[in-house]
Amino acid sequence: MSNKVAVDLKSVQKTLLLPLWGRAVETLKPTPRLVDKTAAEIVEKIDYDFTTFSSNINPLTRYAWIARSIHFDRTIRRFLQQYPAATVVNIGCGLDTTFERTDNGTLLWYDLDMPDVIRLRREFIGETSRRKFIASSFLDDAWIHQLTIKDNVLFLAAGVFYYFEEGQMREFFSRLASLFPGSEAVFDVASPLGVRVANKLVIKAGGMDESSILKWGLKNASELREWDDRITVLEEYPMFKYMRKGLSLKGKIATFESDLLKIMSIVHLRLSN
């Protein structure tokens, strides 16, 4: 009898398995760029056929998940140096394990995702007094009132926002600026070209259906300022910035081309009143 946990998710939520698997694969390499033992342990416990991923996912795509985690970890640690008792909200957390890699012992962390994802998450990760789960869409308002704020707030979203329409994202950021002045947000974005590439190379290759396609593409982060003048872009940089050391020549060329075309980028914002 298998003791593995069955996965019964809607197609969109199944995309949460992709970066989890990517971090697990990286962790088991002889010289990993990112060590995420919790991700490797979770993959071993899940009753899911990952062979579709391993045979079809482009290596560049898998490396992008690792690069994103490294960038996010660095941003979180810098934020915590300034605000040691900060609240971090991990939007669309899936089976993300960033908390395990960045916890400073004093932060307050919220993992936010849809009810079916949170139910699955509880199979592998437990709540504590400083790490709490909220079952809700980030577009709803109720979860906002569940937060406890001791210091500043950092909103984190990895692989989430491009599944939604631009209008939904406009309203969301304006709401955050109104409710949490001075807060910051870090997330990854795809350019319009990146949306097309991802839908072809990741979603379809990974065995996902049409309901999992990416929707929102952002050409330049400066466009966000036009949404709301309370948005300040602190950083915007291509996904593979400072991430080419140790890659093969083919890998260096592929990541350079991706960055040149702005296929994927990291955006770091401050939201003021």
Residue 102 above 90 pLDDT? yes
Residue 3 above 80 pLDDT? no
Distances in whole angstroms, Cα of residue 216 to Cα of each of 32, 167, 176, 190, 199: 32, 9, 19, 8, 12
Q: What is the mean pLDDT of residues 135-154?
A: 95
Q: What is the mean pLDDT of residues 128-157?
A: 96
pLDDT of residue 20: 93
The boundaries of the domain holding residue 193 are 5-271
Q: What is the pTM of this model?
A: 0.91
Chain centroid to Cα 122, Å, comes to 19
* CATH for 168: 3.40.50.150
pLDDT band at 14 (very low <50, low <70, confident <90, very high): low
At residue 199, φ and ψ (nearest 5 deg) are -65, -30
Q: Name the residue with tokens 């926002």.
A: 161
| Number of folded domains that form the chain | 1
Closest to 4 measured CA to CA, from 44, 59, 57: 44
Q: What is the mean pLDDT of residues 167-192?
A: 96
H runs (alpha helix) in 33-165: 37-45, 51-56, 59-82, 98-102, 115-121
Residue 203 above 80 pLDDT? no
pLDDT of residue 11: 53
pLDDT of residue 1: 42
pLDDT band at 84 (very low <50, low <70, confident <90, very high): very high
Higher pLDDT among residues 59 and 22, named by residue: 22
Q: What is the DSSP string of 110-122?
A: EEEE-HHHHHHHT
Residue 90 neighbours by CB under 8 Å, 6+ apart: 96, 98, 99, 109, 110, 111, 112, 156, 157
